[in-house]
Amino acid sequence: MIHVIASIGVKPGKRAAFIKIFKANVPAVQAEDGCVEYIPTIDTNSGIEAQWKDETVVTIIEKWKTIEALHVHLAASHMEQFKKDTANLVEDVSLTVLEDA
């Protein structure tokens, strides 16, 4: 199993617009061969002192059956369109790609 944590830094005040576009793309991603999970998340108030919170970050939690499925996902036409649709909302992107230990 491949796990991806994608941290998307959005411009201040643009998080809701980004999430709306993201959620519209979710069905296409979930229909991809090898997609197990694909959800946007935002920081919540946990009361845990060590928690780092940022209202300009959307964290995407992804699970893929194989690394090959992830590569196909990244090259999918709907993902290219998603990048174009959100280009004016996004400031930075960082990925952590993990596998089961």
pLDDT, tens only, 36-63:
999 999 999 898 988 888 999 999 999 9
Residue-range domain boundaries for the chain: 2-45+53-99
What are the tokens at 58? 């959307």
Identify residue 71 by its one-letter amino acid code. Answer: H
Q: What is the DSSP letter of 33?
A: T
Name the class of domain 2-45+53-99: alpha beta
User: Looking at the predicted structure, is the pLDDT value of residue 82 above 90?
Assistant: yes
Over residues 68-90, mean pLDDT? 98
pTM flag (> 0.85): yes
pLDDT, tens only, 13-27:
999 999 999 999 999
Q: Please state, rounded to an integer, the average pLDDT across all residues of the chain.
A: 97
End-to-end CA distance of the chain: 10
Question: What three-state secondary structure class fits 2?
Answer: strand
